[in-house]
Structure 1
Amino acid sequence: MLDDLDRRILRHMQADPEQSIPDLADRLGLTSSRLTRRVDKLRSEGVLRGRRIVVDWQELGYAVEVSLRITLDKTQSRAFDDFIAAAREIPEVLEIQTFLGQVDVRLSVIARDMAHYQEIYRSRILTLPHMADIEALMHVARIKSNETLPI
């Protein structure tokens, strides 16, 4: 799958995703064309899925983050599909995860303040279909948030 050069490329790209191909090629001791071919291969194989811009939602005035753990009414055959489709329509829902176990779905929700969260919760979250139980966990601190893989 990945050889040592691929791993070195990925480690350097993770460490500094904004570096240019020529700069990265110099660091790796490669030509720009060889590096470009390797990066294109990693993209075509699905290892690299593009570049992203990370927006700091707190800098945009969102100060509250809540994790909602939801159990669905699984007697309804379309419970997951209907719930997820409706949850995707709520702009303040940043993440939707599904699980096997007692909790079926977790939503990560942001709000400007507690009054805004209460409005989202009452008008949007509680109207989501097929919910049997919901538990809210107020986010206090993010201890580790890292998407860098140990390659």
Structure 2
Amino acid sequence: MDNKENIRILLTDDDQDDREFFADAVADLHLNVTVEFCINGLELINYLYDKNRIIPDIIFLDLNMPIMSGFETLKQIREDILFKDIPIIAIYSTSSSQEGIKNTFGSGANAYIVKPTDFNELKKLIRKVIEMDWKEQLKYSKLESFIITV
């Protein structure tokens, strides 16, 4: 993505501390990025269909959430052609099991990260996601390049 334009990120995570940690990491990168938040999958779905909102450039989606899990949310988003070109980065906070990774990939996520606890690692992951060529990535999505690490 071109850092000259304002990049709109939407993070959906039910943990307030994780949302603040993410916002602090983005701010510390000093990029032209706007971050907005949803606290669960249902709120994200409502956000995307709100005509008064601008569709985000990238969605970071926690998979473990109450009300509507990240898996359910991901499947619902991918059922709508309006949102097919939004890169969705699945975040799994507890593990990186092969089954979970395959399910996430099969459900339409474009990348998968294990939620880092280190601030600098989180910054590196966010920068890496922002700087990816998502037009290419969306065309040739492969399981081998699905997991993003620093």
- For normalisation by structure 1, the TM-score amounts to 0.23
Larger Rg: 1
Q: Higher relative contact order at CA 8 Å, sep ≥6: structure 1 or structure 2?
A: 1
